Structure 1
Amino acid sequence: MEFLADYAGFLAKTITLVVAVLVVLAAIAVLRSKGRSKSSGQLQVRKLNDFYKALHQGLEQAVLDKSRLKAVRKAEAKAEKLAKKTAAEKPRVFVLDFDGDIKASATDNLRHEVTALLSMATSQDEVVLRLESGGGLVHSYGLAASQLARIRQAGVPLTVCIDKVAASGGYMMACIGEKIISAPFAILGSIGVVAQLPNIHKLLKKHEIDFEVLTAGEYKRTLTVFGENTEKGREKFQEDLETTHELFKGFVASHRPQLNIDEIATGEIWLGQAALGKKLVDELMTSDEYLATRAKHAELFHLHYAQKKTLQERMGLAVSLAADRLLLQWVSRLNQRFW
């Protein structure tokens, strides 16, 4: 009986804790939804030359003895002073990052970054995009690609670097680059279109549940999850996929005419080394190697448009972290009690 009483008390505390956590999470969601529409951002600019210089000098400081290090620093200072007097203005390289999810959410920041750099960039400069994306929604990646097209239309050279993956919608973006550089084992291609959905019509029919689909327009709804799908609907759905695929193929071919589009637009993927042979990329190199090389002859600026968090969002994040810690403590105590 004493055990049952202890267990009942523990269970009551657990339920109370879970309810409290759910209430907190609901409050977080409300706060974030309220703050999101009012949030704004700012452009953050970092000079990458200083970053590479700090790496180099940090290694020198660790490896060289004091007398040698002093001599090196003196020579570097003299060389920098001379370069400022004699060298012409260096070209600029604007570095952007795009880490794509299925909705291409990073487009919200990309559009502002592109607008900012186009206010200064000329044909003598360069834009380098470090791209990582496995693709996603057609319209979302179409908009992201259109943002990059603005750079090419302005006559500014665009180089796209792919270290891990640029497939499907990701490659749609990459192909806009005047030059595409890929790591040897990056994944590229997947120039195809896919759509899938479950259908539980037979399950509903088995349990005598009717589901009505009313439409105005012959092809307003072709395939459904709940209704009975027809062969005519399937054919129309497939036709729409083929139309989208043809547009995708045409888009890629227009930006990379050197491709055999029918050969590579099969939905297949290739690693960087094979992609070079298929002319999907122009050169094999990591983005680190490319930027470190460019830093020797150009001024590199990394641009990132950062969304400002409102007070509600900051409070929501703090409460969320606190809730996470509370849940971890609860799970730990639960394990100690029953194991």
Structure 2
Amino acid sequence: MDFVFEYTSFLAKTVTLVVAILIVLAAAASLRSKGRRKAAGQLQVSKLNDFYKALRERLEQSLLDKDRLKALRKEQGKTLKKEKKKPTEAKSRVYVLDFDGDIKASATESMRHEITALLTLATPKDEVVLRLESGGGMVHSYGLASSQLARIRQAGIPLTICIDKVAASGGYMMACIGNKIISAPFAILGSIGVVAQLPNVNRLLKKHDIDFEVLTAGEYKRTLTVFGENTEKGREKFQEDLDITHELFKNFVARYRPQLAIDEVATGEVWLGMAALDKQLVDELKTSDEYLADRAKVAEVFHLHYSERKSLQERVGLAASGSVDRLLLNWWSRLTQQRFW
């Protein structure tokens, strides 16, 4: 027991020391950054044509003998010279964006800048491809993400959505904006519905003689609560709000995908890509890799990624908070009265 006590004491001291160091570093970073403007982010652009070319050349080097490789390179050089002499029209451009969605649709912050940048150059002859992965999340967050994609449609630029794994609920709300939706055969799609859930511990509090009071101004300022006693009237109002949100969701999807039998697919169900094609939730079955490799043969393909420059204070803060805080935040978000697509 003495050993356990000593070890626990040592561990507590170590943790305290580490936390103290992190607090000092965060304070120093805060003082250092006072009065300074927040560092701007940076738009990173890479040409995927070069990436695919490098893959092919690396494979050729590995598989072909020296003589065959030399002959191939010579032939490729001749072909390139002939193409340069021919008067050719400028190739169209394909702008590739990525969206990896969480509950709060945090990737919207980068995507909005990427869209703003490409709209300064893109024309209706070009194309935007969004590689989308999301199981949905908060209504207002995915509403904003969808509005950002709508800017592309409003500019008259073709928008293609590629889904390799999942685009459900709020994720499908984003996907439906595309002029064309391409899905992998076993990707998960649909879930056109709304859900909200929260626990209620009022009976537990009463059992231990603990009072909890909720004061509101406005009849429906609070309908359901975690700690207070919920009423049937509050439940009915809460359900009414969910139904209204669901109706808005259905109308939004129907606006961009008029070919859908909306009442048939807006049940909250999900389908795999092959079944989703039959339901007209998607237009084609293909992986994003296959689609972009094909486009790279006839167009210039550019991948855009906007990255925020985090200050020292922010980096220290992330290290101090750790993954536990993020897990707790996601857990609490699901327990509160947030509405989810």
- Is contact 1:272–1:281 with CA below 8 Å preserved after alignment? yes
Query: How many Å apart are 1:9 and its aligned residue?
Result: 4.5
Name the residue aligned to 2:10: 13
- Is contact 2:22–2:316 with CA below 8 Å preserved after alignment? no
Question: Residue 143 of structure 2: SS of its match in structure 1?
Answer: helix
- Is contact 2:194–2:245 with CA below 8 Å preserved after alignment? yes
Change (3 A) 1:116 1:217: same
Amino acid at match of 2:272: L
Q: Quick check: 7-16 or 119-128, which moved more?
A: 7-16
Amino acid at match of 1:284: L
For 1:1-339, list aligned pairs within 5 A: 4=2, 9-26=6-23, 38-86=38-86, 87-314=88-315
* RMSD value, Cα: 2.3
Amino acid at match of 1:113: E
How far apart, CA to CA, are the structure 2 residues paired with 1:320 and 1:201?
Answer: 31
What TM-score, normalized to structure 2? 0.88
Query: How many Å apart are 1:76 and its aligned residue?
Result: 1.2
Amino acid at match of 2:20: V
Amino acid at match of 1:193: V
Cα offsets for 1:273-331 (capped at 9, x unmatched): 0000000000000000000000000000000001112233456678899xxxxxxxxxx
Amino acid at match of 1:41: G
Query: How many Å apart are 1:209 and its aligned residue?
Result: 1.1
Change (3 A) 1:320 1:199: closer
Change (3 A) 1:100 1:12: same
Change (3 A) 1:278 1:7: closer
How far apart, CA to CA, are the structure 2 residues paired with 1:83 and 1:40?
Answer: 41
Amino acid at match of 1:136: G
- Is contact 2:188–2:273 with CA below 8 Å preserved after alignment? yes
Amino acid at match of 2:192: I
Amino acid at match of 1:59: L
Higher Cα Rg, which structure: 1
* Aligned length in residues: 318
Change (3 A) 1:260 1:28: farther
Amino acid at match of 2:15: V
What TM-score, normalized to structure 1? 0.88
Q: Quick check: 29-38 or 144-153, which moved more?
A: 29-38
Change (3 A) 1:217 1:290: same
- Is contact 1:25–1:320 with CA below 8 Å preserved after alignment? no
How far apart, CA to CA, are the structure 1 residues paired with 2:186 and 2:311?
Answer: 41
Cα offsets for 1:171-230 (capped at 9, x unmatched): 000000000000000000000000000001111111111111111111010001111100
Change (3 A) 1:81 1:175: same
Question: Residue 129 of structure 2: SS of its match in structure 1?
Answer: strand
Amino acid at match of 1:128: V
Query: How many Å apart are 1:30 and its aligned residue?
Result: 6.3
Question: Residue 228 of structure 2: SS of its match in structure 1?
Answer: coil
How far apart, CA to CA, are the structure 2 residues paired with 1:37 and 1:104?
Answer: 26
Q: Quick check: 309-318 or 252-261, which moved more?
A: 309-318
- Is contact 2:29–2:312 with CA below 8 Å preserved after alignment? no
- Is contact 1:111–1:147 with CA below 8 Å preserved after alignment? yes
- Is contact 2:176–2:256 with CA below 8 Å preserved after alignment? yes
How far apart, CA to CA, are the structure 1 residues paired with 2:82 and 2:213?
Answer: 80
User: Unpaired runs of 5+ in structure 1?
Assistant: 322-339
Amino acid at match of 1:133: S
How far apart, CA to CA, are the structure 2 residues paired with 1:156 and 1:194?
Answer: 33
Amino acid at match of 1:237: F
How far apart, CA to CA, are the structure 2 residues paired with 1:94 and 1:104?
Answer: 21
How far apart, CA to CA, are the structure 2 residues paired with 1:137 and 1:318?
Answer: 26
Amino acid at match of 2:175: A
Amino acid at match of 2:177: I
Q: Quick check: 9-18 or 170-179, which moved more?
A: 9-18
Amino acid at match of 2:50: D
User: Unpaired runs of 5+ in structure 2?
Assistant: 323-341
Query: How many Å apart are 1:39 and its aligned residue?
Result: 3.8
Question: Residue 164 of structure 2: SS of its match in structure 1?
Answer: strand
